[in-house]
Amino acid sequence: MKFLDQAKINLKAGNGGSGSASFRREKFVEFGGPDGGDGGDGGSIIFEAERNLNTLIDYRYSQHFKSENGKSGSKKNKTGANGKDLILKVPIGTQIYEEDNNTLIYDFKKDKEKYLVAAGGRGGLGNVRFKSSTNRAPRKKTDGKRGEEFWIWLQLKIIADIGIIGLPNAGKSSLLAALTRAKPKIANYPFTTINPNLGVSYYNNKEVTLADIPGLVEGAHKGVGLGDKFLRHIERCKVLLHLIDVTENNLSENYKKIRSELKNYNLSLVKKKEIIFLNKSDLIEKCTLKKKLDVFSKNIKKKYKIISIFNKDDIQTIKKALVKNVNR
């Protein structure tokens, strides 16, 4: 399934049905009074969060959504039927913005959470409503109100326990595949992943959701390499798993590049809990690795673990660390 994390759509709630101007017409009743019923209310447009969805792709090709109009009232004081509400499903983590794409309307955080976005118009009044002591045969009735109509933006920010971050080709997708049943595209070149991937890891009957965030590059907070689109998916993650390719030169600088991009995009990101893993230990000689680790430890002064995704013991160690940090 293709991934889409932003869409602009038009909503048109149903109009209310018109009231009826009707009079009783019965045998032997010479002057029947008014009996026009009210119009039905127009259907509203309601959004509902759905756990099994993880993309807004359904809104890419269908941009206009309309709920049913209310039916008109009729004689014998019959109220017109209400228009049917339209329920639109979105992934958990979807935010609804006004047309300016800046003013937040609602933020979905729970499964089955509902929010009415566009209200249907009220039905009009039938002439029976206007009968009075001075006007026994009113011909007045009112039309139904128009339903709300406007454009909105849908934005998806993935909600996951762990956000896997790092430079391109650090092994993030391979790690996600090793920890979960996810099947992201994996290849030995930068920017293999161009959309976030989700997976669930299990350890000791506890589950942790992970999001593989596409590789970040220097200038990502300004939009370089589509980085600003990717960075927003990190905002909802509880913990950041920072993956570094130990075969690369200058590990310290590579680490600092990512931290700088997080800080420049949103200061709150660098305040999140962080786990550091140095990956691809199986591809480097021990003496070379030791030299790199000495320099890295001196410059960064943070705890880290050396791993290879092809080592089953390392995978179990990672799973244990994830559960421990998420459930603290």
Structure confidence at residue 6 as a pLDDT band (50, 70, 90):
confident
- Domain 1-156 shares a fold with domain 162-326: no
- Mean pLDDT over the full length of the chain: 88
Q: How do beta strands 197-203 and 162-165 pair?
A: unpaired
Residue 188 has pLDDT above 60, yes or no: no
Structure confidence at residue 186 as a pLDDT band (50, 70, 90):
very low
Q: What is the pLDDT of residues 24-66, one digit of tens each?
A: 887 766 667 899 999 999 999 999 999 888 889 889 889 999 9
Structure confidence at residue 2 as a pLDDT band (50, 70, 90):
low
Q: Render 222-235 in DSSP notation, one character per residue.
A: GTGGGHHHHHGGGT
Structure tokens at 316: 């179990």
Least confident segment among 27-31, 64-68, 228-232, 314-318: 27-31
Burial per residue of 253-290, b for 16 or more beta-carbon CB atoms within 10 angstroms, e otherwise: ebbebbbebbeebeeebbeeebbbbbbbbeebeeeebe
Q: Which residue type sits at 86?
A: L
Structure tokens at 12: 């048109």
Per CATH, which fold does 1-156 belong to? Answer: Spo0b-associated Gtp-binding Protein; Chain: A, (2.70.210)
Structure confidence at residue 305 as a pLDDT band (50, 70, 90):
very high
Mean pLDDT of 305-310: 95
Residue 184 has pLDDT above 60, yes or no: no
Quote the pLDDT of residue 18.
Answer: 97
Structure confidence at residue 183 as a pLDDT band (50, 70, 90):
low
pTM over 0.95: no
Least confident segment among 21-30, 32-41, 148-157, 275-284: 21-30
Token look-up 């596409």 returns 214
Helix (H) or strand (E) holding 104: strand 104-107
* Residue 278 CB partners (closer than 8 Å, separation 6+): 244, 246, 251, 293, 296, 304, 305, 306, 307
CATH 3.40.50.300 correct for 162-326: yes
- The larger pLDDT score, comparing residue 232 to residue 118, is at 118
Quote the pLDDT of residue 226.
Answer: 47
Cα–Cα distance between 227 and 231 in angstroms, integer? 6
Q: How do beta strands 94-98 and 104-107 pair?
A: antiparallel
Token look-up 């026994």 returns 136
Domain spans of the chain?
Answer: 1-156, 162-326
Structure tokens at 101: 């794409």
Best-predicted range by mean pLDDT (182-191, 192-201, 309-318):
309-318
